[in-house]
Amino acid sequence: MIISIKPWLELAQQPDLTPSMMRVGESFAGLELSSDAEADEFRTSYRSYGPSASINGLEQGKRMEFYHKPIMSAEILSAMAPVRGKQIFDGTLGGGGHSELLLSEGAHVIGCDQDRDALEHAKARLESYGDQFLTVRGNFESIDSLLAQVGVEEVDGILLDLGVSSKQLDNPERGFSFRFDGPLDMRMDDRAEFSARDLVNEWSVDEMTRIFREYGEERHAFRAAKAIEKAREKGAINRTSELVDIVSRVIPKISKKNPATRVFQAIRIAVNRELEVLENALEKSIDHLATGGVLSILTFHSLEDRIVKHFMRRLSTPFLDRPEWPAPRENPEYCLHLPQRRAIVPSKEEVESNPRARSAKLRVAVKL
């Protein structure tokens, strides 16, 4: 439910309104919150934005106040123990939700994002933390040079909350979503040269089939790729809605999901080289974690989680053994301790109040 802007603004402007006053079923200025999820979203937003609080991405003037609801906040706080004096690199700043939690506990945060809009938004939102909060624009794949830019060698924590933010997904102009018509873009960094439009118009059927199958786990990958090839013979494919039409004609709708979902996900992963970037970042991150430092990676895709799992297992195994060796040998890469071998998943309550949390998996490792 999207509440119309006028009563919402009247509500938000009530000078003595505090988050605890807002409960489901209570009415302010003629407005009633209809669910726990909406009340929760309002309270979170109110804590960050005060009188400009919003829900459901409601626009105030031209500015979207709601950016991204941080996922598994409690679990991340408990893993990172962000006390005063600690310095944490948040490689996926986004709306600044996780960073704010870390800052409010006293930690210093270096916030990084490759998205210009995210960085500007978070800078403004977290301005009050002064020099406790630094920002750098770039790809966390280059964590080494990003830290060098701010004169830091080692940090006590590295946080990556992978993928795109709600704000990026919900902005038609960014072209990430099959739900809105917009240009076929999908670049998180608008300085990058390669976009979804290039992929869809230039890649071979084989290349598209591979990514639809591997990154999207799309059973009809070949059919979708062939349909794109056929469609582009008539002219370039430029809009998200065109791509939705093309693939929806050949991918059967078997659930509530839009048939284009998996193709869009695969293209986004390929355009932003998300898996390769993650692998590179993990390898480099270890060199910049202080002893006792915590690596926390939040993934939303099985391929991402597999990369993180294998990386953490590889570096947390003290001895290696092979049938041809007379005895186990020390693992030269051994430098991590895993407080928990299994991935941590969000609570049922969190998934209910924020469906975007449903596929989240958090893996944590501590540098030895």
**Helical axes 205-214 vs 261-271, angle rounded to 10°:** 100
DSSP structure class, residue 162: -
Sheet holding 108-113, edge to edge: 133-137, 108-113, 87-90, 155-161, 289-299, 361-367, 336-337
Closest-by-Cβ residue to ligand SAM is 94
CB of 114 to ligand SAM, least distance (A): 4
Size of the site for ligand SAM (CB under 6 A): 23
Query: 220 or 288: whose CB is closer to ligand SAM?
Result: 288
Region binding ligand SAM by CB under 6 A among candidate stretches 88-96, 210-218, 237-245, 262-270: 88-96
Query: 40 or 115: whose CB is closer to ligand SAM?
Result: 115
- Name which position in 70, 182, 216, 346 contacts ligand SAM (CB under 6 A): 70
322-333 core/surface letters (b: 16 or more CB in 10 A; e: else): eeeeeeeeeeee
- Regarding beta strands 319-320 and 336-337, do their DSSP bridges make them parallel or antiparallel, or are they unpaired? unpaired
247-258 core/surface letters (b: 16 or more CB in 10 A; e: else): bbebbeeeeeeb
By CB under 6 A, residue 170 contacts ligand SAM = no
By CB under 6 A, residue 92 contacts ligand SAM = yes
- Name which position in 38, 156, 161, 305 contacts ligand SAM (CB under 6 A): 161
By CB under 6 A, residue 259 contacts ligand SAM = no
Other residues' Cβ atoms within 10 Å of the Cβ of residue 304: 21
Residues of span 4-63 touching ligand SAM by CB under 6 A: none
CB of 73 to ligand SAM, least distance (A): 8
Reduce the DSSP state of residue 254 to 3 states and report it.
coil
Query: 41 or 113: whose CB is closer to ligand SAM?
Result: 113
CB of 326 to ligand SAM, least distance (A): 43
By CB under 6 A, residue 118 contacts ligand SAM = yes
By CB under 6 A, residue 346 contacts ligand SAM = no
Query: 141 or 242: whose CB is closer to ligand SAM?
Result: 141
Q: How far apart are CA 14 and CA 62, in angstroms?
A: 21
DSSP structure class, residue 133: E
Region binding ligand SAM by CB under 6 A among candidate stretches 37-45, 92-100, 128-136, 192-200: 92-100
By CB under 6 A, residue 157 contacts ligand SAM = no
The token duo for 188 is 């998180």
By CB under 6 A, residue 301 contacts ligand SAM = no
- Name which position in 40, 141, 156, 185 contacts ligand SAM (CB under 6 A): 141
CB of 245 to ligand SAM, least distance (A): 28
- Name which position in 94, 157, 216, 259 contacts ligand SAM (CB under 6 A): 94
Query: 211 or 362: whose CB is closer to ligand SAM?
Result: 362
Q: How far is CA 51 from CA 66, 68, 97, in A?
A: 13, 18, 18
- Name which position in 41, 44, 58, 68 contacts ligand SAM (CB under 6 A): 68
Q: What are 271-276's contacts with CB under 8 Å, separation 24+?
A: 271/186, 271/187, 271/192, 271/194, 271/195, 271/196, 271/199, 272/186, 272/187, 272/188, 272/189, 272/192, 274/162, 274/163, 274/304, 275/215, 275/303, 275/304, 275/307
Strand partners, 329: 320
Binding site for ligand SAM (CB under 6 A): 68, 70, 91-92, 94-98, 112-115, 118, 139-141, 161, 163-165, 188, 277
